Amino acid sequence: MTAPAPAPNDLPRPGYWPWFGAFAFLFIVATQATGLVTSIPDRDMGDLQKIMYVHVPAAWIMSLTFAVVLWYSFLYLWKQRENDDLKAAAAAEVGSAFCGLTLILGMIWGRPAWGVWWAWDARLTSTLVLFLIFVGYLAMRAFVEDPHRRAQWSAAVGIMGAINVPIVYMSVRWWRTLHQVQSSPATVDSWYVFNLRANAFAFLFVMIYFIRQRYVAARYERAAELAVQAVALGRD
């Protein structure tokens, strides 16, 4: 499986992306600061409520990120384009990070709010399973050498992993859990809702920027690999 090394012109260029990255980070600093400073402590849990400004947007955007994995995994299986595999993998990396963030922030919230760091209820367990599937996805990519086979296996695991997302979402409704069911604007103070949405957009921008950066890095890695192969095979 030796595709010709792409000409440097084919590789993605920075363009306006550094500006977008700077914007995304300034935006998330602003929305987090607004949430921390301006929202009135919750009547039951005081300042602890502010953990939701990371936990909840991270969980939402994680779901979206795994939908991106699903999309590019199908696209790879359909079109067999290597770049789609690299896009799916970039999204899987970002999604795993957000999933880890969701779990850790949830635990930090749970210890004072519930009284325990962890409970094996359906929501927490299914989220952990989701996290482990995508950690497995990334580990598998590190072990499979052949890019074509790596892409096929990744697509299969990526699709199966993404199927878990709606299960995680519905788990609090399908089963009786310690984790609360989804809130809605009717059950949450409007200023908290505003802060949640602002932070969700901030996480979305960061997610887009991260996926783009990881994808570009993967493209350059592949180009370097192919260049090394070309030299080893004695081609120019």
Contacting positions for other proteins (CB under 8 A) = 1, 3, 39-49, 52, 80-82, 112-116, 119-122, 126, 129, 148-149, 152-153, 156-157, 160, 163-164, 167, 175-178, 180-184, 187-189, 191-192
Give min distance, CB of 43 to other proteins, in A: 4
DSSP 49: G
Give min distance, CB of 11 to other proteins, in A: 19
* Farthest CA pair distance, the chain: 71
CA-closest candidate to residue 57, choices 232, 192, 155: 192
CA-closest candidate to residue 83, choices 16, 26, 12: 12
Nearest to other proteins of 13, 43 (CB atom): 43
Give min distance, CB of 152 to other proteins, in A: 6
Nearest to other proteins of 75, 129 (CB atom): 129
Nearest to other proteins of 82, 212 (CB atom): 82
| Separation between Cα atoms, residue 178 and residue 175, nearest integer Å | 10
In sequence order, the 6+-apart residues with CB closer than 8 A to the CB of 95 are: 62, 65, 66, 68, 69, 134
Give min distance, CB of 29 to other proteins, in A: 23
Nearest to other proteins of 120, 143 (CB atom): 120
Nearest to other proteins of 25, 121 (CB atom): 121
CA of residue 232 relative to chain centroid, distance? 36
Burial of 1 (0-12, 13-18, 19+ CB in 10 A): exposed
Give min distance, CB of 100 to other proteins, in A: 20
Show the CA angle centred on residue 58, arms to residues 56 and 61, nearest 5°.
Answer: 105
AA letter at 212: R
CA of residue 164 relative to chain centroid, distance? 14
Nearest to other proteins of 13, 145 (CB atom): 145
What SS3 state is found at 16?
coil
Give min distance, CB of 50 to other proteins, in A: 10
